[in-house]
Structure formats: structure tokens, C-alpha cells
Amino acid sequence: MATQHSSFEITQSLDEDPLLDAPLLPSQNLQSDIRTSFHPVPTVCIAVILLLVNIAFVALAFVAGIVCSLPPEGQCRPYIEPLDLQTVLLTAKVIMWLLQFILERYMQHHHRKARSRGYLCLYRATRHLKTLPLLVHSTGNAALLLILSTQLSFSVQRSLYVYVILGVLGLELLATLLCMSVYTVKIGKFNRAMPRPDIIEEEKLQTYPHHVNAEIGFRDGTSLDEVVEKQGDVIEYLQRHNAILSRRLLAMASQQAKH
């Protein structure tokens, strides 16, 4: 009797639930509302522009360094007074470092947004490429500081230090060019492919086993830290995605109730 009474209460509560009497949400509208649209990573143009500025700076530095070091000495002084050539080069180098720092912060901001949208593999694949150019510029600044300190201690021909500074700038440009080229190619391919979030792509691959490759699942040689980091990223994305879906479902339910 107790079981029948409890089952009767459950049935009665279900019958009297006002939410069950509400009209069902249209599946097409629901799917179109919760489907996330693709947002490209808008860092390629800024990175290319800054790279071109860096190339122009190094080219002008080489031209100025070679021309100003040729006899007669001092032929460049009327154009840069009261500064000398080294001061001009180092000041421009500091400005380039500041621009690179701003670009790195800009790239990090947009890649965090891409990570929050579920593009976890892209975030990990470009994690070091975003920071390497700034690290290269910082290492170049340290090398220039060492050159200046050496110049204060040893009286060597001034033009020799200018050539060493130009050599540092050239090596710095080559390393930055390599990193930024790889980065722009990766981001360009990502923006053209317009993929869905990683969790959706992995579900698709698991649904069709013949498409599964070696990148899916746990592999021999995969570090535990990498697996834990990937799982943490997936959990963070799913929590954010579920919160967004809950808010949209509540908004649609309230709209249906008003009508």
C-alpha cells in the first residue's frame, strides 16, 4: 500500500507540474540559438605589420651603421644631433621591444578567448610561439647592455661596437622572423579552416571510428602532465558551455511563457 501510495503521489505531482503543460521549445530554434559561431583569431595582420616594421628598422639600422661608419666620420651627425648613432639605435630598439610586448599581450588576450571557446589544441600549439619573439627581443636587449658595459671598460674603435650591435639586431630579426612566420601560418590555416571546438571534433571522430587517428586518446609517451592539463581545459570549457546553455534555455523558456 505504501508503494502504491508513493507512486500515486509521484504520478499526481507529475500531472500537476505546470512546466510539463508548457509548449515544447522548437528544436530548430533551440539548435540555432545554442550553436556557437566561429570567431577567428585576429592577430595575423597585427603580427605581420609589426614584423614588417621590425624588418624596416633593422634595414635602416644597417644602412645608417654602414654609412655613418665610413669616412669621413661625422657625416651623419648633422642629422641626429645632439645624439650619436648608438643612442639612436638603442632608443629605437627599446621602442621595438615595447611594440613587441604590446603585441604579445594582444595575442595572449585573443588566444585566451579562443581557449575559452573550446579551441584547446590551438592554444597549446601556439603557446610558445606567442612568447618566443618577446623572449628573443629581451635577450637582444641583454646582449646590447653587455656590449655597452664592455664599451665603457675597454677603449676599442667605436665603429666596432656599432657593427656588433648590428650583428645582434640581425640575429634577433632572423629568430623573430622564423617564429612569427610559423605563427602566422598556423593561425592563417586555423582561420581558413573555421573548425568547431575541439570537444565537438573529438566526439565526431569517436562516432566514426574509421576517422580516428593517433592523436585521439592516451598514447604511449604522452606525459601525465599533458593529459591532466588537457582534461582540465576540457572541463573548464564544458563548465562554461553548460552555463551559457543554461542561461539561454532559461531565456527561451521565459519568452515561451510570456507568449
Which residue type, as a one-letter code, is found at position 244?
Answer: I
Model confidence, pTM: 0.67
The pLDDT, as a whole number, for residue 2 is: 47
Please answer whether residues 43 and 133 qualify as being in contact, where contact means their C-beta atoms are separated by less than 8 angstroms.
no
Domain ranges of the chain: 25-40+196-259, 44-193
- CB under 8 Å to 258, separation ≥6 — which residues? none
Handedness of CA 149, 153, 159, 161 (dihedral sign): negative
Question: Which grid cell is 68?
Answer: 655613418
State pLDDT tens for residues 86-125. Answer: 888 889 999 999 999 999 999 999 998 888 887 888 888 8
Each residue's pLDDT tens digit in the chain (259 positions)?
A: 444 444 444 444 444 444 334 444 444 444 444 455 788 899 999 999 999 999 999 999 998 888 887 776 667 777 777 778 888 888 999 999 999 999 999 999 999 888 888 788 888 888 888 899 999 999 999 999 998 888 877 776 767 888 899 999 999 999 999 999 999 999 999 999 888 877 665 555 555 555 444 444 444 445 655 555 565 666 666 666 676 667 777 777 777 777 6
